[in-house]
Amino acid sequence: MTFTGDERAQSVQVGAVLLFGVLIIAFSSYQAFAVPEQNREVEFNHNQQVQTHLQDLRNAIVSVPGQPSQQAVSVQLGTRYPSRLVATNPGPPSGLLYTDGTTNESQNLTVRNAEAINPETADYWDGTAPRHYNTGAIAYKPEYNVYGEAPETVYEHSVVYNQFREGNITLSEQAMVDGRDITLVALNGSMSRSASDSVTVDVRPTSQSSRTVRVTNATETSNVSVSFLSRLPAEEWRVLLEDEIDPSPGNKSNDRYIANVIEAEGPGSLYNVTVVFERGATYRLKMAKAGVGTRVASESDAYLTTVGSENVTVAKGDDEEIVLEVRDAYNNPVSDVEVNGSVDGSNAGSLTTDTESSDSDGRVRFVYETSQSTTTGTATVQFSLDEINGSFDGESPEDVSVPVTVTEANPGSGGGSGNTGLIYNEDAIALNSNGNTDGGVDGGVQFSVTNELGEEITITTVAIDPVNDDIIRLSDTFSNDRDPAPQENEVYIQADTNGYTDFGGGTDVPRTVDVDSDGSLNGPNPVLSDTSTATFHLFEFIQDTLFGSSEIDMTGESVTITVTYELSSGGTDSKMFTVTPGGANTNEQPNADFTITSDGSESNGKWDFDASPSSDPQGDIVTYEWDFDEDGIFETTGQTVEKKRVDSGTVVALRVVDSEGNADTVRKEVP
């Protein structure tokens, strides 16, 4: 047998080589194209996840006002590819989370031309000195192997957005401006974390409270403004603030108060953006400082102000508490600060203590006392964060002067205040929408109050809380194309300067009405001079029935009213009273009273409230209702409320109701 010319073995070898070559090409293609594409998808999905984490971080930062506790947010900086049997993966991708400008004192948020309504607070917020607050951004920069066009995700000034080479895409709304509310949260600290795993960011409330300061433009030709450095140009901020920009500047009925958003050149790639607010409006400024990472600067006391003690009147032989508050540059309370007090002049009364330290709410309480030999007239009580000496200046932020009027004792009153304050005239009547007491359903309520405070006041809010739970709405019967008038709007207040609020289709009750900003149609806050009378028109009350809703005859129906007002001399106060058109029903009015007790040092800020001292001539109190947050709305029921956490200085209200729906209220301050 001959094998000359036999090539069969060669064909097998060639086939094996060709098959191996095909496998090599297929594997190379898989490694070169399929693996990167799969890894790109992994990186893209991770980028979507980290954007959600940045929004969680944003939510933690913007919630710092009113949030006393630290919040922890986890951010996944990198990811890992799926394991492979044959193909290989590059190293796991990582990311960098870092702060930008948050410790650079030249990178600021600045408030200009803002003057506080409270005269003592205006020593600091005087509208002339710009107030600067260091803040910046926190950003995530991915370091992917394949997804090269991934954005840098940035948080700054309450907004999260993706920064691409071609432009920006916002991921959240802004939280700085809402009508007349301006909320500014500064970001402070230093952080730079690079990893492929998750890291935890602790958001620490360095300066916080739920406190607001009312401010307005300092002069007739100036505008309150807020300036800040941003990676976003003014054009994109106009889009973010679109719902707050007034298309008709000066029209305060549309609840839009931004006059303009302008831009100037900033350092490097940053824009200097300024939000300009309209003149003639009062804004509620809330500020806070959030710390992340290291090098977070603490805040110290910046100024001293009064809290409801701007005008003190005391009869000879009596005493009166004067409350002040130590605040930092963000208007938030500072504890454990020593405040000095002194009475200027001789035989002008005295303070029971010369120094007090601020509590956890930043408040200090001094007691001014007089004797029968104290000289009547006006005395000046001085308070300061420094020693009181010849350099005392009542107009400096660190010093406060409180005028105290000493009067002759009022015989038989026990030194009480007598018939002073905002006085309800016990004249409530029920009317229908035509202003008559006959024909139709008398669903509206009219009553009056007289200003006996000794100075002009401006009414800002009215809380309306009917005793009858079936009363669910307040809705007038007139359209909004008519000029505002008594009995033709849900709330109309006739005073020296009239005020009104109309809600279009009505509003649910109970509720607190902000006279000059709520509703679809509103006027200015009503002004009431000393000894003048204001008449309130609330039209019309609607009840819920088995067959739907309908007007209710308000004769004999009790409604608790809380009127909040600003004093011309500065500060705010309120008066709570219950109106019953036509007077009490069959039964006589009950009498509300309660006690406040605690377990002393073991109470941990919790108090027991007991309404058992309340009484009723017929002995048939059926409901005990409580207001623990000073909004004039009674949310809690029960004769006793135990272990309730309420801050010292809070004014708690009790309403008792008898079987005929007659009600009485009383308010007391938590010690």
Buried b (16+ CB within 10 A) or exposed e, 221-238: ebbbbbbbbbbbebebbb
Q: Which residues of the chain have pLDDT under 70?
A: 1-10, 12, 26-27, 29-33, 308-311, 409-420, 434-440, 480-481, 546-547, 584-587, 600-603
pLDDT of residue 207: 94
Residue 167 has which token pair? 């432009």
For the chain, what's the residue count? 671
* Residue-wise pLDDT tens digits, 581-628: 877 665 677 888 899 888 765 667 788 899 988 888 777 888 999 999
Closest CA to 578 of 565, 561, 564: 561
Task: Provide the CATH number for the domain formed by 303-407 in this structure.
Answer: 2.60.40.10
Residue 616 has which token pair? 């009723």
Residue 529 has which token pair? 């001079």
Looking at the domain 419-583, which fold is it? Immunoglobulin-like (2.60.40)
Looking at the domain 587-671, which fold is it? Immunoglobulin-like (2.60.40)
pLDDT of residue 8: 55
| CB 476 within 8 Å of CB 506 | yes
SS3 17: helix
Provide the edge-to-edge strand list for the sheet that holds 377-384. Answer: 312-315, 399-407, 377-384, 338-344, 355-357
- Looking only at the bridges linking them, the beta strands covering 399-407 and 312-315 are parallel
Give the C-alpha separation, 543 to 553, whole Å.
9
pLDDT of residue 357: 96
- CA angle (35 as vertex; 33, 37 as ends), nearest 5: 70
pTM of the full structure: 0.61
pLDDT of residue 418: 38
In a 13 Å sphere around the CA of 307, the CA atoms on its Cβ side amount to 22
Residue 284 sits at φ, ψ, to 5 deg, of: -100, 105
Please give the full DSSP string across 630-654, using - where no structure is assigned. Answer: SSS---EESSEEEEEE--TT-EEEE
Non-local (6+) Cβ contacts of 20 within 8 A are none
The reply to whether omega before 403 is within 30° of 0 (cis) is no
* Residue-wise pLDDT tens digits, 53-103: 999 999 999 999 988 899 999 999 999 888 877 778 888 999 999 999 999
Which H helix or E strand runs over 39? Answer: helix 35-62
pLDDT of residue 603: 63
Residue 456 has which token pair? 């002009």
Does 587-671 match 303-407 at the fold level?
A: yes
Domain range list for the chain: 46-291, 303-407, 419-583, 587-671
| CB 265 within 8 Å of CB 162 | no
Residue type, 299: E
Please give the full DSSP string across 295-355, using - where no structure is assigned. Answer: -PPP----EEEESS-SSEEEETT-EEEEEEEEE-TTS-B--S-EEEEEEESSSS-EES-SE
Cα→Cα distances 539→432, 473, 489, 495, Å: 8, 10, 7, 17
pLDDT of residue 605: 75
